Amino acid sequence: MTNLEKWIAFKTIVRREIQRFLRIWPQTLLPPVITIVLYFVIFGTLIGSRIGEMSGLPYIQFVAPGLIMMSVITNSYSNVVSSFFGSKFQRNIEELLVSPTPNWIILLGFVVGGMCRGLGVGLIVTVLSLYFADFNIHSLPITIGIVLMTSLMFSLAGLINAVFARNFDDISIIPTFVLTPLTYLGGVFYSIELLGDFWSKVSMINPVLYMVNAFRYGIAGISDIPAYWAFAMVGLFSVLLFFTALHLLEKGSRLRS
Amino acid sequence: MQPALAISQLNKTYEGNFQALKGISLEVHPGDFFALLGPNGAGKSTTIGIICSLVLKTSGKVSIFGCDIDTDFSQAKQHVGVVPQEFNFNQFEKPIDILINQAGYFGIPREIAFERAEKYLRQLGLWEKSHVPSRTLSGGMKRRLMIARALIHEPRLLVLDEPTAGVDIELRRSMWEFLREINARGTTIILTTHYLEEAESLCRNVAIIDHGKIIQNTSIRQLLQQLNKELFVLDTREQLDECPSIEGYPITLIDNHSLEVEVEKSQSINELFDALSQVGIHVLSMRNKANRLEELFFDLVEKNLSGEENDQS
């Protein structure tokens, strides 16, 4: 395949992925938006007004970056896991497997498709959050950089989950029992300063904490953790996940018999 | 000239140690219309799966128009189009999108993909349905959609795994016509089918696979020459109360107006008619009792089965 042909194959996968989540927007775009608006109403306006400040910020301004990041994480992950597993389940993944498209293009196509949904939902949530909270961007490069890398990392993780999944239960186990607890305990709703010394240290092994704090730093200029740690960690995980996913595709694990 | 398909010592052992292919070797020449026949579980779909890289081989070599599927997989895949047995497209997508996306995976620009998609959808009578969700198509339409999808990158080798399964007779005949046309235009076709009449009508060469081994690989004509005897059903003008007896021709009475006669290759049908006339029976029409290839197929598979049983004992 020439480079132009590879580019066409890549664009085809990304376009198909975008068309997929736009076609089923009541399942893919609407629910996260409603969920996040409810979070803003309950934690930001109703409860937040009684909480007061967190790390020197009004509570609604404190939770807003975390809620945006939460929507990016869950949507990036769930788009790739459901789309790739759906393709396996309906066997239309075979359309790609019989084609000369290299595995790394297949991988990038699905991942970029997942990032488009994650970032798209993140953007919608950001626009909605402006209705509830005022905030200025402290550092645009950090904000955009960390959100892009986080979306990339969770899209890759979603693909690996989908490769291993044998049924629909397998694609909901990780989001329910791993992703949701990590996100809720990842400093979205509180600063780790509130935790005791021991639980603060335990929290440091949660990768979501780094991403949420780096994103909050980019927007509000405050963080429990230096932003460069977040970039290093997300970068390292992304590289590891990329090569793991590529290896699984090359091997044909659970794709080719 | 490079063979369209060359398979050498191909083995496939699945998990659980089930050996689906036991060192098969096969060559299909460019422009051929080739039948790969065999009973269920014989290894046909495994062979096709390996050719189009949906199944990983255990050992052996496969090359398509001289391109090895291991070392030159990109070029090899460009040469093959596959129509699988099961529907394997996204049922929520429209036929036009399925075809354009498939073209994209082969690196074909969108404008060209659209032109080709329209061409093949029209040729296969699906253009009217090109913009409806593909789940709403009938079974026959879905099969034709998979043929259009397999042709979108204009492969030199088209592999069809039971393409007419569950398709009504009229549609099956029109699909045969279409396949004959694309074969006449130079596309090599490999076909697996359970309808042996289909193989006899369409294909020039045949391989019969059973228990993971090729038990016959020849031309359809030569294969049919192996038939020593044929069974004919004769419809008679006279009402028959008992079965006539003609020396050298075993006859069975089917009903009052039909007889079943076994005729060996060395025997003359004219002599049979003469003999029947002499006993006052006139034949109005005659037909083969079963498809000729079908008889031979069962004969070969049965022989292979008894051979395997002897090996085991």
**Residue A41 DSSP class:** I
pLDDT of residue A207: 87
The answer to whether B52 and A98 have CB atoms below 8 angstroms apart is yes
Beta bridge partners of B61: B8
Beta bridge partners of B189: B33, B158
pLDDT in tens, A39-64: 888 877 788 778 878 888 888 888 88
The answer to whether A181 and A204 have CB atoms below 8 angstroms apart is no
3-state secondary structure of B261: strand
Those residues with Cβ within 8 angstroms of residue A202's Cβ, 6 or more apart along the chain or in another chain: none
Which single residue is written with the structure tokens 């402006």? Answer: A130
Four-residue CA torsion sign, A41, A44, A49, A51: positive
Four-residue CA torsion sign, B65, B71, B77, B78: negative
Written as tens digits, the pLDDT of chain B (313 aa) is: 789 999 999 999 998 889 999 999 999 999 999 999 888 888 998 999 999 989 999 999 999 999 999 999 889 999 999 999 889 999 999 999 999 999 999 999 999 999 999 999 999 989 999 999 999 998 888 999 999 999 999 999 999 998 887 778 888 888 888 999 999 999 999 999 877 778 888 899 989 898 899 988 888 888 777 766 778 888 998 888 888 888 888 888 888 888 888 888 778 888 888 888 888 888 998 887 765 666 667 667 766 666 665 555 4
pLDDT in tens, A2-48: 999 999 999 999 999 999 999 999 999 999 889 888 888 887 778 87
CB contact under 8 A, B88 and A91: yes
Could you tell me if B17 lies within 8 Å of chain A, comparing CB atoms?
no
Cα distance between residue B188 and residue B208, in whole Å: 18
- Does the pLDDT value for residue A130 go beyond 80? yes
Min Cα separation A123/chain B (Å): 27
pTM score? 0.84
Q: CA angle B123-A96-A1, nearest 5°? A: 90
Could you tell me if A12 lies within 8 Å of chain B, comparing CB atoms?
yes
- Does the pLDDT value for residue A186 go beyond 90? no
Cα distance between residue B77 and residue A97, in whole Å: 10
pLDDT of residue B39: 83
- Does the pLDDT value for residue A187 go beyond 90? no
pLDDT band at A120 (very low <50, low <70, confident <90, very high): very high
- Does the pLDDT value for residue A133 go beyond 90? no
The answer to whether A129 and A68 have CB atoms below 8 angstroms apart is yes
pLDDT of residue B233: 87
State which amino acid sits at residue A6.
K
pLDDT of residue A153: 95
Which single residue is written with the structure tokens 């109005």? Answer: B284
3-state secondary structure of B116: helix
Please report the residues numbered 36 through 55 in chain B whose beta carbons come closer than 8 angstroms to any beta carbon of chain A: 49, 52-55
Residues of chain A found within 8 Å of residue B106, distances taken between Cβ atoms: 5, 9, 99-101
For chains A and B, CB pairs below 8 A equal: 86
pLDDT of residue B230: 76
Chain A interface, best mutation among B13, B75, B105, by max A CB count within 10 A? B105
Residues of chain A found within 8 Å of residue B108, distances taken between Cβ atoms: 5, 8
Average pLDDT, chain A: 90
Q: How many residues does chain B have?
A: 313
pLDDT of residue B293: 66
Please report the residues numbered 35 through 94 in chain A whose beta carbons come closer than 8 angstroms to any beta carbon of chain B: 86-87, 90-92, 94
pLDDT band at A157 (very low <50, low <70, confident <90, very high): very high
